[in-house]
Amino acid sequence: MGWRDVIGAVLDATAAAPAPQARRTTAESHKAAAPASDARASLARPRPARPAPPEPERPAPERAWSAAVFDHIEWRRFEAVCEALFAQSGMRSASQSHGADGGVDIWLYSQHSDEPVIVQCKHWKKRVVGVKELREFYGVLKSHDLTYGTFATSSTFSSDALAFAKSNRINAQDREGLLRLIAGRSAEQQQALLDTAYEGEYWKPTCVKCGVKMVLREGKGSEWFWGCSNFAKTRCRSILKAAQVGTSAQI
């Protein structure tokens, strides 16, 4: 049972329980006689224990490339797919899986040029990449005294972001662009990229600081959140809202 099913079941149970007001209305004749302490006693009844953190939903892997693959996987797998995709075009690549990256997720080296190409990846689901992100990336490009950069996203770019990219030699690849590049690869290469996407626990987010998988934890309210599994060991406080991960992601 997926965690959303669990939450759905809890909500269903809540909806099915008669509201106290309704109960009082149907028992109108007892209203005057009912001692107030009964009501207080029922309010003071201990709440049932909350269920253990639900198992996160694991989307079934696609058999061929489509936009759904980007929705199924977490940010680290997306970066790995981008790196493998660019490496397939004959570039040597280097990346780091976590920690401060200085705005560069992947370094690409071509045998035809002394100058590396830097890549930034944004695994966003619905949020559009704006000109702000492109300007920041341009700043990173200039800080390394480089000419060419690629900005890859699983989402889309705003029109001003695309215009900025075009006038500043930034190769902007959105979801459709990446899928077109992938479609141009051989069947074996496409399968290799698919295997990279669905490697390991692809549906669980990776801590941006530690590079370890995150775990679902109970929040103060009724929500679950993803916390770093290193929290007890290193006090790493990286968190993600549960809704930001998986197929229902809002970002």
Which residues contact Zn ion by CB under 5 A? 207, 209-210, 228, 230, 236, 238
- Please, what is the minimum distance in Å from the beta carbon of residue 123 to Zn ion? 17
Closest to Zn ion by CB, 134 vs 210, is 210
Residue number with CB closer to Zn ion (8 or 99): 99
For Zn ion, which is the closer residue by CB, 182 or 210?
A: 210
For residues 110 and 91, the answer to whether their CB atoms sit within 8 Å is yes
**What is the nearest approach in angstroms of Zn ion to the Cβ of residue 251?**
19
Strands (E), the chain: 92-95, 106-109, 117-122, 149-153, 170-173, 214-218, 224-228, 239-241
Asked if 174 and 127 count as a contact pair (C-beta separation under 8 A), the reply is no
Residue number, 44 or 232, with CB nearest to Zn ion: 232
Q: What's the rounded Cα separation, in Å, for the pair 95 and 78?
A: 13
24 vs 27: CA distance, rounded Å: 5
State the minimum distance, in angstroms, from the CB of residue 248 to Zn ion.
Answer: 23
Beta carbons of 224 and 54 less than 8 angstroms apart:
yes
Rounded least distance, CB 233 to Zn ion, Å: 9
To Zn ion, the closest distance from the beta carbon of 216 in angstroms equals: 15
Q: Rank residues 194 and 228 by Cβ distance to Zn ion and give the closer one.
A: 228
How many other C-beta atoms can be found within 10 angstroms of the C-beta atom of residue 122? Answer: 20
